[in-house]
Amino acid sequence: MSSRGAASSSGGPQLGTSESSTRISKKPKYSRFTQQELPACKPILTPGWVIATFIAVGIIFIPIGLASLFASQRVVEIVHRYDEECVPPIFSGNQLAYIQSSITNKTCTKNFTVPKRMKGPVYVYYQLDNFYQNHRRYVKSRSDKQLRSKAGELDTSTCKPEATTGNNSPIVPCGLIAWSLFNDTYGFSMKNKVLNVSKKNIAWKSDQEHKFGSDVYPKNFQSGGLIGGAKLNASIPLSEQEDLIVWMRTAALPTFRKLYGKIETDLEANDEITVVIQNNYNTYSFGGRKRLVLSTTSWIGGKNDFLGIAYLTVGGFCMFLAIGFILLYVIKPRPLGDPAFLSWNRNPSGIMN
334 binds other proteins (CB under 8 A): yes
Cα–Cα distance measured from residue 273 to residue 111, given in angstroms and rounded to the nearest whole number: 6
Question: Of residues 97-116, which lie at the interface with other proteins (CB under 8 A)?
Answer: none
Our CB check for other proteins shows the closer of 280 and 304 to be 304
Cα–Cα distance measured from residue 277 to residue 151, given in angstroms and rounded to the nearest whole number: 38
231 binds other proteins (CB under 8 A): no
Cα–Cα distance measured from residue 142 to residue 177, given in angstroms and rounded to the nearest whole number: 7
End-to-end alpha carbon distance in the chain = 52
30 binds other proteins (CB under 8 A): yes
CB of 146 to other proteins, least distance (A): 12
Our CB check for other proteins shows the closer of 104 and 208 to be 208
Our CB check for other proteins shows the closer of 104 and 282 to be 282
Our CB check for other proteins shows the closer of 70 and 272 to be 70
Using the rule CB under 8 A, which residue among 19, 23, 117, 194 binds other proteins?
A: 23
Q: What binding mask, one character per residue, do residues 48-67 give for other proteins by CB under 8 A, x or -?
A: --x--x---x---x--x---
Cα–Cα distance measured from residue 118 to residue 152, given in angstroms and rounded to the nearest whole number: 44
CB of 305 to other proteins, least distance (A): 10
208 binds other proteins (CB under 8 A): no
156 binds other proteins (CB under 8 A): no
| Cα–Cα distance list, 288 to 132, 252, 281, 309, 348 (Å) | 10, 16, 10, 29, 56
Torsion sign over Cα 333, 336, 337, 341? positive
Output the CA torsion 156→159→164→170 (10° steps): -30
Beta strands at 77-81 and 107-113: parallel, antiparallel or unpaired: unpaired
Using the rule CB under 8 A, which residue among 103, 253, 331, 340 binds other proteins?
A: 253
